[in-house]
Amino acid sequence: MNDDERGGDLAGFLPYQLSVTSNAVSSLIAERYRKRFGLKIPEWRVMAVLGDADAHGGGLTQRDLTEATVMDKVAVNRAVRVLEDRGLIGRVPNPGDGRSHLLALTAEGRAIHAEVMPLARATEADLIEGLGAQEEALLRRLLASLRERAMRLAQG
C-alpha cells in the first residue's frame, strides 16, 4: 500500500507501529519489576545486556552497551551511573584498552538479574501465548531482519 492509499495514516506507518509496540512491551515488563527493584527501563536494559555478557564470560565497555542496547549514549551513561551508585554494576580496567573500563554486574546485580529474568520471560510467554510455534518463529525472523536492515541503512 502506498502513502496515498493510507492517507498518511500514522497508525499504519511501520516505524511508528514498531516504536509503539516496543514501548508498550517495555512498559509492561518494567511495570512488573519497577516497584520491587526500583529499576527504570534503560537501567534494566543495561543490566539485561550485562547479565547476558556475564553468562558468556565477560564485561562490556560503555560503547559496547550503547551498541547492544541501541540506546543513546547519554541514556546509557545515565543508567550506568545510577546502577554503579546502587552497587549493581562495577567497573574494572579493560586489559585490551587502557583508556576504557569493563562494566559487569556485581553480586547484588546478578542476584537482581536472576530474580527479574523469570518475570521478563513470563511476560514474554504471556505476549506470545496466542501465537503458534511457526508464527512465533516467523515474528522473530522478521524482527531480526528489520533490525539488521535498519542497522545497515544507518551505516550508510
Q: Return the CATH number at 135.
A: 1.10.10.10
Structural domain total, the chain: 1
pLDDT of residue 72: 92
Mean per-residue pLDDT over the chain, rounded: 88
Residue 3 belongs to a domain: no
Looking at the DSSP bridge assignments, the partners of residue 60 are 103
Residue 1 belongs to a domain: no
Residue 121 belongs to a domain: yes
Measured distance CA(50)–CA(58) in Å, rounded: 9
Q: What is the largest CA-CA distance in the chain?
A: 56
- Residue 107 confidence class, pLDDT cut points 50, 70, 90: very high
Q: Is the pLDDT of residue 10 over 90?
A: no
Residue 65 belongs to a domain: yes
Cell of 109: 546485580
Residue 8 belongs to a domain: no
Measured distance CA(121)–CA(116) in Å, rounded: 9
pTM for this prediction? 0.80
Measured distance CA(113)–CA(88) in Å, rounded: 10
Residue 5 belongs to a domain: no
Residue 80 belongs to a domain: yes
pLDDT digits (tens, 9 = 90+) for 23-34: 898 888 888 878
Range(s) of the domain holding residue 22:
13-154
For the residues 103-119, what does the mean pLDDT come to? 92
Q: Is the pLDDT of residue 7 over 70?
A: no
